[in-house]
Structure 1
Amino acid sequence: MALLALVIAILIERYYHGNQSAARDKLSSDNWYFSYLRFCDKSFADKKWYQGWVKDAVEAVLPALLAFVLFKFFDDGFVASFTVLALMVLILVHTFGPQLPSKQLEGYFRAVENGEKQAAYEYAMIFTGKESENEATMVKDVTESIFYKVESQYFSVAIWFVLLGPAGALLYRMLLWQQQENRLGALGKKLHYAMEWLAFRISALTYLLAGDMASGIEQGKGQFFDLEVSGKDLLNTVATASMGLNVDDKNSPCAANRCAISLSQRSGVILFALVAVASLLGWSFV
């Protein structure tokens, strides 16, 4: 069922990316979650017990736990299976995205190709969240952001969906929302780090298979099992090395960026194949 849910969610993704980005953004809206956080703050902020790990658990773990319990209510049967599938697809579509880097970077690529350097810098800053010092740094920052956004918005969600079910995908997404707003507590930071440490390394393997494996292994072999090396750092090292870019950057300034998108797409196909195998062999949680 995990495989079927992923197939349907991907088809929905393709439809919305090709037609209605505004509607797609609404499907991934985090408004409900931050409304929940505001409710918790308003209701419990002055309580002595609502501190530390308790606060972190209520804000991040509790909604995922409720989602897990919800799925346990459904017994076997056609109606129950159909309901579970629909809920799985809904959670997947909600936790995916909201928009592929290739779509987000359309203005950036257009500006680079037209020689509009200032516009390219502005598009890059919006995409990466930081200001680049020069063109080479801009291209590098965009490349690393492509890998991270594809991973955090799609690959990791799919991986945790397979490993822990819809509750796992939702938990990862909620931690990501908190991290983006600098709201992660001590427990949330540890959970977020651990989930990215594992998921990003699984994805790194797909980049090795999709790109220059020898170069990727050479650059990342000393970091792969190091608990001190974050998932993001390991993925950037392996994915960048796996690009094996042999293009004259003077003739194509953003060649590395396009190569990163292409490599991510190939890695996605491999990851989907791994998910399919895991599902057929009964290795998935759902």
Structure 2
Amino acid sequence: MALFSLLIAILVERLKVLPANLQFDHLLGLYHRNLFRDEQIKSAGMMALALLLPALALYLLSWIVAGLFWGAFSLMLWVAVAVLCFTHKAQRDAFKRYVQAACRGDTQACYHYAGQLECSDCLDAVDPCELANRVGQSVAWTNYRYYGAVALYFILAGPIGAVLYCTVRYYSEEKLKRKLELPLVDELLFLLDWIPARLFAFGFVLCGEFSKSIEVWRKLVMQPGCSAREIIVQTAMAAEPQSCEQNDSISLQPTIAMLALSKRNFILLVCVLSLATIFGVVS
């Protein structure tokens, strides 16, 4: 079911048929506003409950529908969860506007939209070339955070693992955007990213310049405290060296190069999942 659900989710995400009010982050926003308040989740107990409740509810629902109609309900549940977890309309829209601004030579608009691309340091870029390189790095990181990590958790831990990861990711982003003091979130997200980031970064090694990137990857994975973003970005940069001309306009070359590398990596992940399904390793 993992392979089938993953392919359906990718198709739906590419066709962009899911309305904004059914995006996973939008649904989690409703969940947070109706069941919790910002003041409540400042305590570790309530924060833990907010993080675990969606996954626990899904576990209960999976147990209820297990075996009904020869597994048809379970399959529909897997597909529905996969479709919801792969949605990230806000990031797609910001990236589209960034590319459009770069094509028309609007540097100020590029800086504005780059700040919305999970690129916290993009606004500190001192020139268009540096901004282009940082956006390229942000593309690799966003691809991991919204595609690679979700897919890996869906494959290894099923819908429950994917929902848990997306829930923790949502609260981590809310903490950064709204400058909230939330316990447990960063620590749990670090743990959840620890293995998937290293696996996904190794995909960059296989899809890019092997000799350079394997040295960077091997060095970083030996550091237990290394952040997931550093592993992803540094390995991706080594696998696909970035370059752009020093001028007054924004170059899309680093962005396109990282986007192509990320797509190759995700295709590799799907191919590995297909082989694992054929040989019975993944159900």
Return the TM-score normalized by structure 1. Answer: 0.85
Q: How many residues align?
A: 274
Q: Does 1:120 align with 2:107?
A: no
Deviations 1:117-165 (A, max 9, x none): 2232233233335513321321122112111111111111110011111
Match of 1:74 in 2: 65
Query: What is the identity, as a one-letter code, of the residue corresponding to 2:101?
Result: A
Give the conservation status (yes or no) of the 8 Å contact 1:112–1:120: yes
When residues 40 and 25 of structure 1 are mapped into structure 2, their CA distance, relative to the original with a 3 A threshold, is: closer
Cα-Cα RMSD: 2.7
Mapped to 2, the partners of 1:194 and 1:56 lie a distance apart of 16
* Structure 1 equivalent of residue 264 of structure 2: 266
Distance 1:109 1:34 in 2: 28
Q: Deviations over 1:166-223 (max 9, x none)?
A: 0111111111110011157443322211111211111111111111111111222211
What displacement does 1:52 show?
A: 4.2
Q: Summarize the Cα distance change of 1:120–1:265 in structure 2 as closer, same or farther, 3 Å threshold.
A: same
Alignment of 1:28-67 (within 5 A): 28-41=23-36, 45=40, 52-67=43-58
Deviates most, 136-145 or 191-200: 136-145
What secondary structure is seen at the aligned counterpart in 1 of 2:88?
Answer: coil
1:27–1:93 Cα contact (<8 Å) kept: no
**Which letter maps to 2:138?**
S
Give SS of 1:229's match. Answer: coil
What residue in structure 2 maps to residue 25 of structure 1? 20
**Which digits, 9 at most, give the CA deviation of each residue in 1:17-63, with x for residues without a partner?**
xxx5xx44333143332333334436x94xxxx87442122100121
Query: Is 1:164 aligned to 2:162, yes or no?
Result: no
In the alignment, residue 245 of structure 2 is paired with which amino acid? Answer: D
Are the equivalent residues in 1 in contact too, given 2:86–2:150 (CA < 8 A)? yes
Rate the CA distance shift 1:102–1:261 in 2: closer, same or farther, 3 A. Answer: farther
Alignment equivalent of 2:245, drawn from 239, 246, 249 = 249
Matched position secondary structure for 1:222: helix
Letter in 2 for 1:164: A
Match of 1:179 in 2: 172
Give unmatched runs, 5+ long, in structure 1: none
Q: What letter is aligned with 1:271?
A: L
Instruction: Quote the Cα distance in structure 2 between the aligned partners of 1:86 and 1:6.
Output: 12
Give distance in 2, aligned partners of 1:185 and 1:214: 41
- Paired amino acid for 1:63: P
Identity of aligned residues (%): 24
CA offsets 1:80-125 (integer angstroms, 9 cap, x no match): 4221111111111111132496764333333334333223223323
Cα gap change, 1:12/1:213 in structure 2, threshold over 3 Å: closer, same or farther? Answer: same
CA distance in 2, matches of 1:237, 1:116: 28
Q: Deviations over 1:228-262 (max 9, x none)?
A: 101111011101110045x6535882211110001
Aligned to 1:94: 84
The match for 1:203 is 200
Matched, 1:233 2:230: yes
SS of 1:126's equivalent in the other structure is coil
1:228 match: secondary structure: coil
2:12 pairs with 1:12: yes
TM-score normalized with structure 2 length: 0.86
- Structure 2: which 5+ residue stretches go unaligned? none
8 A Cα contact 2:140 2:233, kept in partner: yes
CA–CA distance in structure 2, aligned partners of residues 145 and 122 of structure 1: 14
Report if the CA contact (8 A) 1:101-1:150 is conserved.
Answer: no
Aligned to 2:126: 133
